[in-house]
């Protein structure tokens, strides 16, 4: 009997996705709860103006961007789509990065435990997913269909640029940085090695590079898109002027990763389905 290419068995896996699904459902619930609480009770959760202005719009972004991309990637993977399986770790990395910023600048109150749980669960699930994806099978399916060196170079290059920016902040005027700015630098410092290592592995056409490459590109793309959403939501949520120039700058910078990600996506969507 001919296999259904959309069946979950068509996915390149070395084990069960059940633990990753369970952990991701928990992450989705925590994300929704933390974001709604932040928007409903900002005066309690964000006790000063800097935290309020930074995190109220970001809570809305997490609901409008972070939560949907996680749910959609899980749903696609459940339908046996390779695209969903490869995007899933990227959606988790996006949330991991976002909640690292919350974790490193929030006071030690009950909400801190939610951010700690979100970052820990996201990190665990990313590792669990990469462990269960058959990277060699993904490599065979995508080799030559995606621009490995372009995508790998963009990942490694942007990761290195983030580290250089952090070094400049530390040696420059970081003494006047806000708690949120320092937390962003910390999140960049912790996430950048993943982009660099993943980029090098993809450049060298290693199995793990193919398994994680699209997710890494996706996480970077969503950080740029999330920031654009943030700028659009600011005027409505915290009554500040719309930053049109900042939106344009972020959009132009984002093209550095949007284009290679689109090329990688095209390769994944064109790869042969199962027999």
pLDDT digits (tens, 9 = 90+) for 52-81: 999 999 999 999 999 999 999 999 999 999
Angle in degrees, CA 53, 33, 233, rounded to 5: 35
- Residue 275 inside a domain? The answer is no
Mapped onto helix, strand or coil, the DSSP state of residue 172 is coil
- The per-residue pLDDT for 4 is 41
CB–CB of 3/9 below 8 Å?
yes
- The per-residue pLDDT for 178 is 83
Task: Round to whole Å and give the CA distance between 92 and 119.
Answer: 9
Task: Round to whole Å and give the CA distance between 171 and 187.
Answer: 18
- The per-residue pLDDT for 10 is 84
- The per-residue pLDDT for 172 is 66
CA distances for 15 relative to 34, 73, 189, angstroms:
31, 18, 32
- The per-residue pLDDT for 107 is 79
Query: pLDDT digit string (tens) for 181-227?
Result: 889 999 999 999 999 999 999 999 999 999 999 999 999 999 999 99
- Residue 201 inside a domain? The answer is yes
Each residue of 218-228: b (16+ CB within 10 Å) or e? bbbbbbbbbbb
- Residue 7 inside a domain? The answer is no
Task: Round to whole Å and give the CA distance between 207 and 267.
Answer: 16
- The per-residue pLDDT for 169 is 82
- Residue 240 inside a domain? The answer is yes
- The per-residue pLDDT for 271 is 61
Q: What total of structural domains would you count in the chain?
A: 1
- The per-residue pLDDT for 8 is 43
Distance of CA 231 to the CA centre of its chain: 18
Task: Round to whole Å and give the CA distance between 66 and 165.
Answer: 25
Question: Token pair of 221, please?
Answer: 């793309």
Angle formed by the axes of helices 207-238 and 148-171, to 10°? 50
Ranges of residues in the chain whose predicted pLDDT is under 70 = 1-9, 172-176, 271-275
- Residue 242 inside a domain? The answer is yes
Each residue of 155-193: b (16+ CB within 10 Å) or e? bbebbeebbeebeebeeeeeeeeebbbbbbbbbbeebbe
- Residue 136 inside a domain? The answer is yes
Print the domain residue range for 59: 15-270
- Residue 155 inside a domain? The answer is yes
- Residue 67 inside a domain? The answer is yes
What's the burial of 246, exposed, middle or buried (CB within 10 Å: 0-12/13-18/19+)?
middle
- The per-residue pLDDT for 257 is 96
Question: Token pair of 110, please?
Answer: 């009950």
């Amino acid at each position: 009997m001919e296999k259904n290419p959309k069946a979950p068995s068509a996915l390149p896996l070395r084990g069960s996705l059940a633990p990753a699904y369970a952990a991701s459902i928990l992450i989705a619930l925590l994300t929704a709860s933390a974001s709604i609480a932040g928007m409903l009770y900002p005066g309690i959760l964000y006790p000063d103006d800097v935290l309020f202005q930074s995190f109220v719009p970001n809570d809305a972004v997490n609901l409008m961007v972070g939560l949907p991309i996680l749910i959609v990637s899980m749903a696609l993977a459940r339908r046996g789509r390779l695209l969903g399986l490869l995007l899933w770790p990227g959606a988790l990395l996006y949330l991991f990065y976002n909640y690292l910023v919350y974790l490193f600048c929030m006071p030690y109150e009950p909400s801190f435990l939610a951010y700690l749980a979100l970052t820990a669960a996201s990190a665990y699930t990313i590792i669990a997913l990469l462990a269960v994806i058959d990277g060699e099978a993904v490599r065979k399916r995508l080799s030559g269909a995606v621009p490995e060196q372009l995508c790998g170079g963009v990942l490694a290059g942007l990761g290195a640029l983030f580290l250089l920016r952090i070094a400049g902040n530390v040696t420059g005027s970081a003494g006047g940085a806000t708690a949120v700015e320092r937390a962003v630098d910390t999140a960049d410092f912790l996430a950048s090695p993943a982009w660099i290592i993943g980029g090098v592995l993809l450049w060298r056409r290693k199995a793990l590079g193919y398994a994680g490459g699209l997710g890494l590109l996706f996480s970077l793309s969503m950080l740029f898109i999330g920031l654009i959403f943030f700028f659009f939501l600011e005027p409505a949520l915290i009554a500040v002027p719309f930053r049109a120039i900042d939106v344009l700058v972020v959009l132009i910078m984002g093209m550095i990763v949007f284009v290679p990600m689109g090329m990688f996506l095209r390769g994944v969507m064109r790869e042969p389905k199962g027999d």
